Chain A
């Protein structure tokens, strides 16, 4: 069944303390060549019928992302051809 995948990320200018905490832990793994980690959220949506990108965009814009602090991108998996970004 095709799904719509919504990726939500904090805008680049918004501080991501979780990402920083992860980045700061990496040296304990012996990793020293990572300069930045940013953490986002991936949401998968299944429609009862065909994936509806417009409806998914509305869901993402109104609920899944807060446009004040976050950007989102939408794509359909298993369809492979539809992908778009909303910076």
Chain B
């Protein structure tokens, strides 16, 4: 059976179409989800896309966290529903306390938009199992508030438990502590990633096809491969 991947659209989402396209290229059946509808329509996994949900007013992700669809997603995530938050989606996951820490204004105050090398640090999550641990990939990064911060104890715990999913290589684009580009929850079903794998799935438009790995990972995971 084809895996059903839901992609949420909030008011202000930008990358929902690209995320849906990436999931479709990987072989998923894509189900559009709407911020105001708490029904997940039986999806097997959810992508929270990049953009500026609710205008990013107050703090990025602070208002999206209270969207009707997020209540269902948060409850599902605690029960093992795979959720990938990309950029604004990562910010929403932190605001919803599904992931620890927070994303703050880039240290240099500039919006950063470039192709970025990452090292996959953990291939043990639902969204990264198609990669090799230590594999280097190239995908776009584009954010103004992508500086990952958490207290020292949380960072140590993330490192010790293998929950740093990806790290920036060749220059940290936003000042994230310990060069962290992505993290996961304890169970590995919830992953937040600041760079954009959905923009690196086709040779015509992306710097590589490396982003596809996140979407083939979830299909592999749902097909029963050990996460």
Do A and B originate from a single complex?
Answer: yes
Interface residues of A (CB under 8 A from B): 13-15, 17-18, 21, 63-64, 66, 68-69
A60 CB, min distance to chain B CBs, angstroms: 11
Residue B62 is within 8 A (CB to CB) of chain A in the complex: yes
**Contacting pair B149 A69 (CB below 8 A):** yes
Mark B residues whose CB is within 8 Å of A: 58-59, 62-63, 66, 94-95, 100-102, 104-109, 147, 149-151, 175
Q: Of the candidates A17, A64, A69, which one forms a contact with B102 in the assembled complex, judged by CB atoms under 8 Å apart?
A: A69
- Let me know if B62 and A17 touch, CB within 8 A: no
Contacts of A14 in B (CB 8 A): 104, 149
- Contact assessment for A63 and B58 in the assembled complex, using a CB-CB cutoff below 8 Å: yes
Shortest CB–CB separation between residue B225 and chain A, in angstroms? 33
Minimum CB–CB distance for A55 against chain B, Å: 16
B74–chain A nearest beta-carbon distance, Å? 14
Q: Are A21 and B109 in contact (CB under 8 A)?
A: yes
Measured between C-beta atoms, what is the minimum distance from A21 to chain B in Å?
Answer: 6
Shortest beta-carbon contacts, A-B, top 8: A68-B102, A69-B102, A17-B109, A17-B107, A17-B105, A66-B102, A66-B59, A21-B109
B147 to chain A, nearest CB (A): 8
Once the chains are docked, how many angstroms separate the CA of A76 from the CA of B151? Answer: 32
User: Roughly how many angstroms separate A63 CA and B105 CA in the complex, as a whole number?
Assistant: 18
In the complex, what distance in Å separates the CA atom of A13 from the CA atom of B94?
Answer: 19
Residues of chain B contacted by A21 (CB below 8 angstroms): 109
Inter-chain contacts of A17 with B (CB < 8 A): 105-109, 175
Q: How far is the CB of B156 from chain A (nearest CB, A)?
A: 15
